[in-house]
């Protein structure tokens, strides 16, 4: 799995609850697996830190940045991979009713919901920033 597209394809085709562990195990079997682990751990921690640092900045989807950081971290850590797989199974169970409705929506409604969500989070972040710094 050299390219990010291949890694995403591997994640998509794997069963929920095993996705991140499969990617981790495949990376362990690759040449320089230990060095790659450290690269992913450092990259994941830095990405999470960037997501947390940019949280009050309107317009930056910090939640997505933090999730990307967690995914990077899970590729370098067996424990992280296990935790993300367990979290995925739990979230799928808890969010199943919402996902049923979401999957029935047309594409324009999903895009509009995403835009409204970003505007609301950005507005809330800006309001909190103004309250803390005034």
Tens-place pLDDT, residues 87-126:
889 988 998 999 899 999 999 999 999 999 989 988 888 8
pLDDT at 1 (0 to 100): 46
Question: Is 8 a residue whose pLDDT tops 50?
Answer: yes
> What predicted TM-score, i.e. pTM, was given to this entire model?
0.59
For a pLDDT cut of 70, what percent of the chain falls above it? 98
For a pLDDT cut of 90, what percent of the chain falls above it? 25
Interval 68-90 mean pLDDT: 86
Residues 6+ apart with CB under 8 A from 60: 54
On whether the CB atoms of residues 15 and 24 are closer than 8 A, the answer is no
Question: Is 3 a residue whose pLDDT tops 80?
Answer: no
Look up residue 54 and give its DSSP letter. T
On whether the CB atoms of residues 67 and 47 are closer than 8 A, the answer is no
At 106, list the tokens. 């047309």
């Amino acid at each position: 799995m050299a390219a990010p597209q291949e890694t995403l394809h591997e994640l998509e085709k794997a069963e929920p609850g095993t996705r991140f562990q499969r990617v981790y195990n495949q990376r362990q079997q690759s040449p320089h697996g230990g060095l790659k682990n450290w690269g992913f751990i450092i990259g994941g921690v830095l990405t999470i830190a960037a997501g947390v640092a940019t949280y009050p900045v309107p317009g930056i989807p910090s939640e997505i940045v933090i999730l990307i950081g967690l995914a990077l971290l899970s590729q370098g850590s067996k424990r992280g991979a296990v935790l993300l797989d367990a979290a995925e199974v739990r979230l799928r169970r808890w969010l199943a009713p919402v996902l049923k409705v979401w999957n029935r929506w047309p594409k324009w409604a999903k895009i509009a919901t995403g835009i409204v969500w970003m505007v609301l989070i950005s507005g809330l972040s800006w309001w909190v920033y103004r309250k803390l710094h005034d």
